[in-house]
Amino acid sequence: MKLLNLDITRLGHDTFRIKGSKLIYTDPYKVSQRDEADIALISHEHFDHFSLEDLMKVIFPGTTIVASPLCKDGLKNLKVKEVKFLDPGGKLTVGKVQIEAVPAYNVNKFREPGKAFHPKGEKRLGFLIQMDGTTVYHAADSDFIPEMKNLKCDIALLPVSGTYVMTAEEAAQAAVAIKPKIAVPMHYGSIVGSDADAEKFKSLVKGVQVEIL
């Protein structure tokens, strides 16, 4: 779908194909067709975000991979242009595309008392992608965290499934706080969550255009 001046396709879960002057893939997972991404972004090491099998379907020798340091061991010896690891706050420019890594963590989703699925400080990432005058925020696996209130973006890709990430209600609160032009729900329909979560998110968001891809 054309969102502002970018072609954005959700392939499922947190996987998006973002086409502008460069072709970008986020967290490739269950990819069905081969492609040649200029940039591949990997938010963290969990299997539904860092799938080497799926990553191999979208990379070629000209690809720049930008990933969390938690993915280092699995990204060795790939035949790509470069592999860059960013901590939260880190920035990288690829051609005219600017990428900033931002925090992604849980505040109230726990595997057991006191142990979050995605603890703060472990360098799991969200991404701000600035391309062709449009900024896209990919929140990855995160709750509604304080850092989101300071983000500036045109398009926000937000998880809505609950369990490991924001619920639809929490994601709606995040969308209102971030104030993008367009919000897109993700992280449903594969591991956890359903189309109903995306629809609920859309019904709850006020003042922001929501597109379900």
Do the beta carbons of residue 37 and residue 43 sit within 8 Å?
no
Characterize the bridge pairing of strands 2-3 and 6-12: antiparallel
Q: Other CB atoms closer than 10 Å to residue 191's CB: what's the count?
A: 15
The enclosing H or E element of 197 equals helix 195-204
pLDDT band at 8 (very low <50, low <70, confident <90, very high): very high
Residue closest to 16 by CA, chosen among 126, 102, 95: 126
Whether the pLDDT of residue 143 is over 90: the answer is: yes
Do the beta carbons of residue 188 and residue 180 sit within 8 Å?
no
Alpha-carbon gap, residue 157 to 150, rounded angstroms: 16
Sheet harboring 97-103: ordered strands across?
91-94, 97-103, 125-131, 134-138, 155-159, 182-186, 209-210
Alpha-carbon gap, residue 105 to 71, rounded angstroms: 16
pLDDT at 110: 79
Domains of the chain: 2-210 (3.60.15.10)
Whether the pLDDT of residue 126 is over 80: the answer is: yes
Region 125-137 average pLDDT: 98
Whether the pLDDT of residue 117 is over 90: the answer is: no
pLDDT at 5: 96
Secondary structure letter of residue 63 according to DSSP = P
pLDDT at 12: 84
pLDDT band at 177 (very low <50, low <70, confident <90, very high): very high
Q: Which of 20-24, 58-62, 115-119, 144-148 has the lowest mean pLDDT?
A: 115-119
Alpha-carbon gap, residue 5 to 19, rounded angstroms: 9
Question: pTM for the whole thing?
Answer: 0.95
Highest mean pLDDT among 43-57, 125-139, 149-163: 125-139
pLDDT in tens, 63-109: 999 999 999 999 988 999 999 999 999 999 999 999 999 999 989 87
Alpha-carbon gap, residue 106 to 115, rounded angstroms: 10
pLDDT band at 161 (very low <50, low <70, confident <90, very high): confident
Average pLDDT, the chain: 94
pLDDT at 108: 81
Alpha-carbon gap, residue 100 to 127, rounded angstroms: 6
Give the residue, 3 or 164, on which the prediction is more confident. 3
Instruction: Say which residues have a Cβ less than 8 Å from residue 70's Cβ, sequence separation at least 6.
Output: 44, 45, 122, 123, 124
Whether the pLDDT of residue 195 is over 90: the answer is: no
pLDDT at 163: 79
Region 49-73 average pLDDT: 96
Region 147-171 average pLDDT: 93
